[in-house]
């Protein structure tokens, strides 16, 4: 009888031990804090080389004008794309002092037109042209001592997620032109325009 009682006590102890392990396992927990910081970015790329390799591009515009009254205006383009997740941004422009190079060309003789477009997931309404760039103007609209606002951004440049990040751009198209005139003489007019994408 005593042996049976001892056996029952041992069995009960073993069952209690296994039960407490199960309870302990059921109550075990792991915590994994996850913190994701999303930073604001401002990216400007060459529209013809739209990759990070084309960030902060140097785009050349070379015009060759032959004086001929009545001829069509000679034009050249430099287009770039903007991507930003900031809700407010600006595109500014500043110019170096021009070198007429003996041509007789003045800053007012070189026209500038700015237009905007967007990719299929881009937001063309993310930025508005600022006067006088709302219409065709001339290079003297871009100052040499300070910078001028060209576009005022009021939203992210993409209106939807883009799985490939290829169609989420806001594009700025700049066209420069000179109307031929017998007044001009052979030489090379030159200046450099720097466009900057900045936060307010």
39-61: pLDDT as tens digits: 999 999 999 989 888 899 999 99
Q: How far apart are CA 120 and CA 160, in angstroms?
A: 9
Contact in structure between 103 and 188 (CB atoms under 8 Å) = yes
Lowest mean pLDDT among 16-25, 162-171, 183-192: 16-25
State how far the alpha carbon of 132 is from the alpha carbons of 41, 114, 139, in Å.
Answer: 27, 10, 11
Residue 92 has pLDDT above 50, yes or no: yes
Contact in structure between 48 and 79 (CB atoms under 8 Å) = yes
Sheet hosting strand 148-153, strand order edge to edge:
127-129, 148-153, 89-95, 193-198
How would you class 105 by CB atoms within 10 Å of its CB: exposed for 0-12, middle for 13-18, buried for 19 or more? buried
For the chain, the average pLDDT equals: 89
Rounded average pLDDT over 175-180: 96
Residue 27 has pLDDT above 90, yes or no: no
What does pTM read for this prediction? Answer: 0.82
What is the pLDDT, as a whole number, of residue 74? 95
State how far the alpha carbon of 56 is from the alpha carbons of 1, 41, 66, 102, 143, in Å.
Answer: 93, 13, 32, 31, 20
Parse the chain into domains and list their residue ranges.
42-198
Contact in structure between 154 and 43 (CB atoms under 8 Å) = no
């Amino acid at each position: 009888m005593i042996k049976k009682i001892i056996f029952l006590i041992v069995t009960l102890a073993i069952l209690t031990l296994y039960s407490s392990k199960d309870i302990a396992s059921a109550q075990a927990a792991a915590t994994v804090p996850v913190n994701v910081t999303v930073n604001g970015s401002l990216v400007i790329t060459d529209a013809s080389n739209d990759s990070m390799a084309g960030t902060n591009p140097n785009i050349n515009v070379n015009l060759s004008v032959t004086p001929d009254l009545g001829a069509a205006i000679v034009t050249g383009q430099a287009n770039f794309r903007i991507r930003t997740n900031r809700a407010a941004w600006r595109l500014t422009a500043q110019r170096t002092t021009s070198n007429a190079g003996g041509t007789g060309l003045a800053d007012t003789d070189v026209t500038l037109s700015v237009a905007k477009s967007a990719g299929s997931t881009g937001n063309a309404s993310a930025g508005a042209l600022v006067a006088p760039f709302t219409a065709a103007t001339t290079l003297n609209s871009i100052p040499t001592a300070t910078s001028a606002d060209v576009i005022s951004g009021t939203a992210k440049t993409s209106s939807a997620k883009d799985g490939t990040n290829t169609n989420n751009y806001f594009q700025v198209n700049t066209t420069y032109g000179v109307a031929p005139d017998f007044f001009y003489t052979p030489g090379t007019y030159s200046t450099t325009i720097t466009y900057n994408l900045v936060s307010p």
